[in-house]
Amino acid sequence: MAGFVPLFASELVDSYARTYQLNHPRTEVRSADIRSLDPKAIMKQMGVRRGELDLIAGGPPCQGFSINAPVRSVLDQRNHLFKEYLRFVDAFQPRAVLIENVPGLVSFEHGATLHAILHALAELGYGADVHILGAAYYGVPQMRWRTIIIGLRGKTVPSYAFPEPVRHAPIRPNFTTTFDGKMLVKMPTAATASPFTTVQQAISDLPPLACGERGALLKHYATPPSCDYQRWVRIGSNGVSNHEASKLSAINLERLNYIQPGGNWTDIPERLLPMGMTLARKSDHTQRYGRPRPDGLASTILTKCDPHWGAYFHYAQNRSYTVREAARLQSFPDHFLFTGTMAEQFAQVGNAVPPLLAEAVGLTIKNVLNEGS
């Protein structure tokens, strides 16, 4: 979406790789353990010389990489995976590198892991910097934060390599926001007037479904697009796919009857609560068994849209989200199709970086690279 052309992708899980290949037919996709791949052979196959590639982007697990990690052994596979990412960076020497991770990376091991990552990039000749970005500030209708590390070969990363927020949104960090005395979170300024995208704006045009209803694989839109987000997300689409409602248990359906938009588990009678939640404080687990307000943001989309773990009930229909609704709340365009079982599709959506956030980062990286070309 930012104008980069993906040449090669590596993915361990077959069904995830099939989804990526389906949506990127011109990209060489390998479904394999990255430790088995030879970057020099891939470079030769792609016809790319060392130093010629613009960008290597990925989300390698980083928590096991710190020299101060509690368990440092060959058995900690997380150690190897980040080193594999660096192996590709070392071989290709791209002009830029992009690493994404969870906000907790900043405080993990009191910052030692992040220091180790920045030091490792410096040893390979990359100036690097880090910020935490709120997806809702970039038009994503969801409370989601991501840690973004950008490295540039042979130069310091300018502040404008990270995108400035273009929306205001009612989100607050609940994690460490500073690193080495520097504020990491990019916040909107008073001049940022554009409002956030709401849940209703994101999914109200999708066809209604009863709980457990599957229907046709490709469905018609329920209404014409009612906002810019719906107009944008439909570009290139010929209908609604991946839109099938999961079945809910009888007790979840009964619980749902007590929950209004903006409500959560505290609205459920105690006799219907899961045993472990009868002792919870009303201020705890505020997203569980939640229905979002239609004029609000969705809670973070996880790898399972299970009501026990978040506000995943539809705001107006007595069911949980479909894969397409979760994808809409992640800012995937409707032409992007998901393969595999429904559980695998939900996992793909939940593990993803929201495309609108990725586009914002990609555009700023591209602008920085164009300055030096």
**Structure confidence at residue 73 (pLDDT):** 44
Do the domain assignments include residue 345?
no
Do the domain assignments include residue 293?
yes
62 is catalytic: yes
Q: Looking at the structure, do residues 32 and 138 belong to the same domain, yes or no?
A: yes
Distance CA 200, CA 314 (A): 10
Q: Looking at the structure, do residues 164 and 260 belong to the same domain, yes or no?
A: no
For residue 291, the domain's CATH number is 3.90.120.10
Do the domain assignments include residue 344?
no
Q: Looking at the structure, do residues 165 and 277 belong to the same domain, yes or no?
A: no
Do the domain assignments include residue 350?
no
The single-letter DSSP state of residue 115 is H
Two structure tokens written together for 224: 């014409």
Q: Looking at the structure, do residues 48 and 88 belong to the same domain, yes or no?
A: yes
pTM beyond 0.85: the answer is: yes
Q: Looking at the structure, do residues 184 and 297 belong to the same domain, yes or no?
A: no
For residue 186, the domain's CATH number is 3.40.50.150
- Quickly list DSSP for 72-110: -STT-HHHHHHHHHHHHHHHH--SEEEEEE-GGGTTGGG
Q: Looking at the structure, do residues 162 and 51 belong to the same domain, yes or no?
A: yes
One digit per residue, the tens of pLDDT, for the chain of length 373 reads 999 999 999 999 999 999 999 999 999 999 999 999 999 999 999 999 999 999 999 988 766 655 444 444 445 555 568 888 999 999 999 999 999 998 888 988 888 889 989 999 999 999 999 999 999 999 999 999 999 999 999 999 999 999 999 999 999 998 899 999 999 999 998 888 799 999 999 999 999 999 999 999 999 999 999 999 999 999 999 999 999 999 999 999 999 999 999 999 999 999 999 888 888 888 888 889 999 999 999 999 999 999 989 999 999 999 999 999 999 999 999 999 999 999 999 999 999 999 999 999 999 999 999 996 6
Do the domain assignments include residue 298?
yes
Q: Which residues of 44-60 are buried (b: 16+ CB within 10 A; e: fewer)?
A: eeeebeeeebbbbbbbb
Do the domain assignments include residue 326?
yes
Q: Looking at the structure, do residues 130 and 179 belong to the same domain, yes or no?
A: yes
Q: Looking at the structure, do residues 57 and 154 belong to the same domain, yes or no?
A: yes
Do the domain assignments include residue 265?
yes
Q: How far is CA 37 from the centre of its chain?
A: 25
Q: What phi, psi does 146 have (nearest 5°)?
A: -135, 140
**Structure confidence at residue 80 (pLDDT):** 67
Distance CA 328, CA 157 (A): 32
**Structure confidence at residue 7 (pLDDT):** 97
Q: Looking at the structure, do residues 258 and 121 belong to the same domain, yes or no?
A: no
How far from 307 is each of 27, 202, 248, 328, 332, CA to CA, in Å?
36, 19, 9, 18, 22
Do the domain assignments include residue 44?
yes
**Structure confidence at residue 74 (pLDDT):** 44
Under 8 Å CB-to-CB from 260, ≥6 apart: which residues?
267, 291
**Structure confidence at residue 181 (pLDDT):** 92
Q: Range of 243's domain? A: 197-337
Q: Which of 62, 211, 227, 305 is catalytic?
A: 62
Q: Looking at the structure, do residues 46 and 97 belong to the same domain, yes or no?
A: yes
Q: Looking at the structure, do residues 248 and 185 belong to the same domain, yes or no?
A: no
**Structure confidence at residue 68 (pLDDT):** 47
Q: Looking at the structure, do residues 119 and 226 belong to the same domain, yes or no?
A: no
Two structure tokens written together for 141: 């209708």
**Structure confidence at residue 277 (pLDDT):** 86
**Structure confidence at residue 279 (pLDDT):** 83
Structural domains counted in the chain: 2
